[in-house]
């Protein structure tokens, strides 16, 4: 229970970054839904994902392979976005924007094709998306925070300030084990839901 309380305290300290990450993701959805300028890029992203799932669907125990692919794809991206956030937060912004754009694009294409976009969101995204998107946004928030701390450290070093004099970077590093445990469990559950409940709802 103490770990849960500590993780809740970590999130409270990062609420500004979580809010910023959510706004970036929503902006990405709006861009993907409302513009045709990036169709080729987004179509390539969507097709690559679709082709991978189709290949896995042809294998024995297809749902198990799809589950493993979804989990490892999301978990590796989520962990990477935290540590690559050290590069001044560029990668978290990129990942949130592209994932938001891809979601907006998929909904837009569905609506233009005459598919009930609302039903598609409820049946095909919402069951697993609550956990998955929450985890990705929180991971990106950590990445944004990491980039900010690294930038502050570099700026302080240039000015001759003592290294991490407030202990913020040390506290941040200490919080990562709780974050990774959260990402593992939440994305594992999301992958299970997506490969079972969402799979059934979409094909039912």
User: Which 8-state DSSP code applies to residue 198?
Assistant: I
Instruction: Please give the Cα distance from 75 to 136 (Å, whole number).
Output: 9
Per-residue pLDDT reduced to its tens digit, 136-165: 999 999 999 999 999 888 887 777 666 665
Alpha helices in the chain (DSSP H): 2-13, 15-34, 39-57, 62-83, 90-112, 117-124, 126-159, 168-193, 199-203
Domain that holds residue 82: 2-203
Nearest to 182 by CA among 141, 127, 122: 141
Count of other CB atoms within 10 angstroms of residue 2: 6
* Phi, psi (deg, nearest 5) at residue 24: -65, -45
Q: Which residues, at least 6 apart from 117, have a Cβ–Cβ distance to it below 8 Å?
A: 107, 110, 111
Per the CB < 8 A criterion, the answer to whether 38 and 31 are in contact is: yes
Nearest to 95 by CA among 49, 59, 54, 144: 144
Instruction: Please give the Cα distance from 26 to 29 (Å, whole number).
Output: 5
Per-residue pLDDT reduced to its tens digit, 26-48: 999 998 887 766 666 666 766 77
Q: Which pTM value belongs to this model?
A: 0.89
The pLDDT value recorded for residue 163 is 67
Instruction: Please give the Cα distance from 63 to 86 (Å, whole number).
Output: 35
Label residue 193 by pLDDT band (50, 70, 90): very high
Domain count, the chain: 1
């Amino acid at each position: 229970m103490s770990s849960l309380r500590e993780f809740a305290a970590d999130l409270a300290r990062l609420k500004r970054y979580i809010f910023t990450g959510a706004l970036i993701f929503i902006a990405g959805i709006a861009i993907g839904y409302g513009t045709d300028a990036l169709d080729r890029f987004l179509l390539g992203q969507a097709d690559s994902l679709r082709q991978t799932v189709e290949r896995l669907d042809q294998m024995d125990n297809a749902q198990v392979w799809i589950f493993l692919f979804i989990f490892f794809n999301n978990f590796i991206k989520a962990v990477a976005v935290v540590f690559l956030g050290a590069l001044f937060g560029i990668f978290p912004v990129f990942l949130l924007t592209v994932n938001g754009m891809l979601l907006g694009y998929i909904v837009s294409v569905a609506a233009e094709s005459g598919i009930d976009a609302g039903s598609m969101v409820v049946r095909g995204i919402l069951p697993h998306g609550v956990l998955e998107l929450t985890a990705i946004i929180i991971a990106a928030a950590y990445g944004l925070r990491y980039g900010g701390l690294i930038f502050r450290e570099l700026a302080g070093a240039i000015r001759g300030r003592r290294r991490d004099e407030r202990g913020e970077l040390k506290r941040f590093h200490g919080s990562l084990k709780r974050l990774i445990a959260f990402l593992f469990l939440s994305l594992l559950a999301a992958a299970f839901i997506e490969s079972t409940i969402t799979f059934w709802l979409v094909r039912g």
